[in-house]
Structure 1
Amino acid sequence: MFGGLTGLQDPKGTDWGERMLNTVASQTIRHLFTQSESVEVLVRCYPSSKLLQGSIDSFKMNGRGLVIRRDFAVEEMSFETDAVAIDFGAVLSGKLSLKQPTQAIAQVVLSETGINQAFKAELVKKRLVNLDVPALTELSGGQPVSFPEVQVQLLPENRLRITAKADLNNGELVPVNMTVSIAVERRRRISFKDPQIDLEQVPETQRATSQTLSAALAEILDNMVDLDRFDLDGVKMRLNRLETEGQKLIFSGYAEIERIPRSGGSAT
């Protein structure tokens, strides 16, 4: 029954329940990610006998080098709950199950490198290629337009520099350069606002086209990042604020945890 669980030789010890739950929780949470460099879980339950009733005082998780749904790299993720009710019987069988929904304070750190990798993910690429939008196809003689190469640079004060090449599907590539402000909207969306379009490095013959394409790309990005599309089964993320800090983008908010998900997009 306790296969793989360590530190249980002395069930009368005051921390045997915490050790068991830490092990089960670490194994459960690690399986939510396609990859994980480290996942550390700290469960507080004093006295340990409370665990028999399924009551724990707090639950903390810190993860580094995480990958979600095979393509989305997270440099750091942490969350912490208050008191939580769990199913002790499930713990004995090596599983983690909540008796009732709970909330956790959460922080997520993305790196500039990880953000740029995400633009190569199929989930993102399909929103940036073969766009049959009248405002764009007018520029390409009726052909779908794509933005196959998008690069992001993090700037101070919650701004991003975005560079891209727009493929008009007629043999012409048009450079796109701009800076945008990012902010949290309705606690679940990331908005891309106030685009400042830079045409200085664009050939003069393409500047009018680049202006239109830049505005279109800013609008596409503004409608793209909705956290509900990335939720794990049973877990919803909600954001209170974001901040650019060097080459990191830091989100803080909370997670609404209805149940512990069984998996989180692991490779098949």
Structure 2
Amino acid sequence: MDPHSTNSEQPIALVEGELRLIGGLNERLFRLLAAIEKIGSINRAAKEVGLSYKGAWEMVERANNLCPQVLVSTAIGGRHGGGTKLTATGRELLALFTRLQEEHRRFLESKNRELADNPNLVFLLRRLNSKASERNQLFGKVTAVRIGAVTVEVSIALRGGDTLIASITKASADSFGLKYGDEVMALIKAPFVMVVKDFGGYRLSERNQLKGTVKRIQRGIVNAEVVIELAGGDSVAAVITTESLKSMGLREGDTVWAVVKASSVILGVGT
């Protein structure tokens, strides 16, 4: 999308923010005040904005206590019946907040359009916004795609020079349309990461053997989390048993290898 397009499509929200006045007077309160002004009943206004009757009253009472003059008044019974309405001060404050909201919206839209011009920043912020349950999320570029009879082997260059190999199905590779130079996210569950301190003269068959330094060890009763820092600054977390931790004599600062099966690497691509 052209970030300067004049159509109604909004730029990607790289910068977000809620407008809040001093004292915690936030958008939810003013949505409630607007509903009270429109409906004239705090009970029905609360339902409209998704609050309980008690929660709405607590919000209104706190706002009334904070402000020099009451924002909301309630009439009980009488010739014209009961009801809740905004005072003149309440209507004035609501109008002020509405104007501020519109200025705030225009400001955010302007900043997002400016940031959308920088592709590196857009990709960085998309990375920060990625959501996945896997402990390890590594980002890199595709350097090779090797198609086999059943699976496709994808080589990913991590920062620092390490190469990570992922083995995925041909169907997944076809749906991704992976090619050289594509930016991808590699997801690895921490229990799938083996920690090797000494190969003992043997060579392992696993394709991924990432050399690093033990940065942190979080000990538990049954398991321990070992965080390994790779040459380029990426961190890989492994979950091993506390018994294995003791038998290996692992300490922070030790040189180790994070060993991962290629089939245990899940790939994610941008949409």
TM-score (norm 2): 0.23
Of structures 1 and 2, the one scoring higher in RCO (CA 8 A, sep 6+) is 1
Higher strand share: 1
Structure of greater Rg: 2
